[in-house]
A and B are shown apart, each in its own frame.
Chain A
Amino acid sequence: MRDQETYSDLTDLFTAEDRALDPAPFVNDVMGGIRRKSLFRKLVLGAVGMVGAGVAAVQLPGLLTGWSGLDTLVTQTVTDAQQDASLLATADPIWLMVGGVVTLSLLAITAWEKA
């Protein structure tokens, strides 16, 4: 610290020169760069995530087949039925009931096949 006191007058000169620099454009440039990088990162992660989810969805029937030991056609029907049921939920209650019966029937067939 004693050493630094011997040149504090020079430090003051340099500091005065630095203080004359306009901070606003520089801060805007830096933060703009950070936001651009952040946005790019989010877009890349989002795109990779969507692709991953798509691949996972395509692989789901095959995965279920491997897991339950059932025919691909049966598991495909089960997954289709789940999607149909969610669609039916927005429609007429009678169709919801029909969907429920279909789902129960498919589950029963699946259980029977598995046994």
Chain B
Amino acid sequence: MRSDPDLAASAARGHEADFAELVRRHQARVRGMARRLTGSASDGDDIAQATFLKAWQKIGSYAGGTFSAWICTICWREYLQARRKQKIEIEFDETAEIIPFERTQSDQVGDQMDLNRALNTLSEAQRVCVVLCVASGLSHREAAEATGWPLGTIKSHVTRGVAALRKHLESSHVA
């Protein structure tokens, strides 16, 4: 099986089929990340689509390393851009309230799962850090580079977010 950097190099030379393979490999991670960040399946998929379109334009700038971290960084930027378009301001601190995208009824159906409900109980900053590091599999350093937040902040939000997530999951299982 060809490696991600190999496929990316080929895609940079204009081979669409190789880029399609990269999309196939990473779509689940990127869609999952975007859906969890927005709290909506349709908005999440729109952001994921914009992420891959941007990745196609910038594929020549991919300089090796973990492709998933690279694509997740683009996804994070697309998410921020989408939020700016919606004119919603986020304060990334412990006390920040969760301000979800406008949700349709059909989107909310998928949110009934315990995991997503538990995720929605976290503060905005914790949710972002848990989505990037726990759900999307980025290392703390990669998440710090993607968001521009200090490494210590990321670690702290992940630790607290994971603890809160576990607590919520345990209580929902007991109930």
Residues of chain A at interface, number, CB under 8 A: 25
Contact B16 A30 (CB under 8 A): no
Q: Mask for A15-32, Cβ within 8 A of B = 1, else 0? A: 101110101001101110
Contacts of B19 in A (CB 8 A): 31, 34
Contact B48 A18 (CB under 8 A): no
Chain B, interface size: which category?
20 to 34
**B146 within 8 A of partner (CB):** no
Other than the given A17-B113, A21-B31, A30-B20, 12 more pairs (CB < 8 A) read A3-B155, A6-B162, A11-B135, A14-B135, A15-B28, A27-B24, A27-B27, A30-B27, A31-B16, A31-B19, A34-B16, A38-B16
B19, B24, B28, B115 — which one has the most chain A CB atoms within 10 A of its CB?
B28
Which of A14, A26, A37 is B27 in contact with, Cβ under 8 Å?
Answer: A26
Chain B residues engaging chain A, CB cutoff 8 angstroms: 16, 19-20, 23-24, 27-29, 31-32, 45, 48-49, 52-53, 56, 113, 115, 133-137, 139-140, 155, 158-159, 162, 165-166
Contacts of A13 in B (CB 8 A): 115
Q: A34 and B56 in contact (CB under 8 A), knowing A13-B115, A14-B135? A: yes
Contacts of A10 in B (CB 8 A): 134-135, 162, 165-166
Chain A residues engaging chain B, CB cutoff 8 angstroms: 1, 3-4, 6-7, 10-11, 13-15, 17-19, 21, 23, 26-27, 29-31, 33-35, 37-38
B16, B27, B165 — which one has the most chain A CB atoms within 10 A of its CB?
B27
Contact A7 B16 (CB under 8 A): no
B119 nearest in chain A by CB position: A14
Contact B28 A30 (CB under 8 A): no
Main secondary structure, interface of A, reads helix
Which of B28, B53, B158 is A23 in contact with, Cβ under 8 Å?
Answer: B28
Contact B134 A11 (CB under 8 A): yes
For residue A11, give the distance in angstroms from its CB to the closest CB of chain B: 6
Bound-complex Cα distance A29 to B52 (A):
10
28 contacts between A and B (CB under 8 A): A3-B158, A4-B139, A10-B134, A10-B135, A11-B135, A14-B115, A14-B135, A14-B136, A15-B135, A17-B113, A17-B115, A18-B29, A18-B135, A21-B27, A26-B23, A26-B45, A26-B49, A27-B23, A27-B24, A27-B27, A30-B27, A30-B49, A30-B52, A31-B19, A31-B23, A33-B53, A34-B16, A34-B53
For residue A12, give the distance in angstroms from its CB to the closest CB of chain B: 10
Contacts of B56 in A (CB 8 A): 34
Bound-complex Cα distance A13 to B50 (A):
26
Contact A30 B23 (CB under 8 A): yes
For residue A20, give the distance in angstroms from its CB to the closest CB of chain B: 9
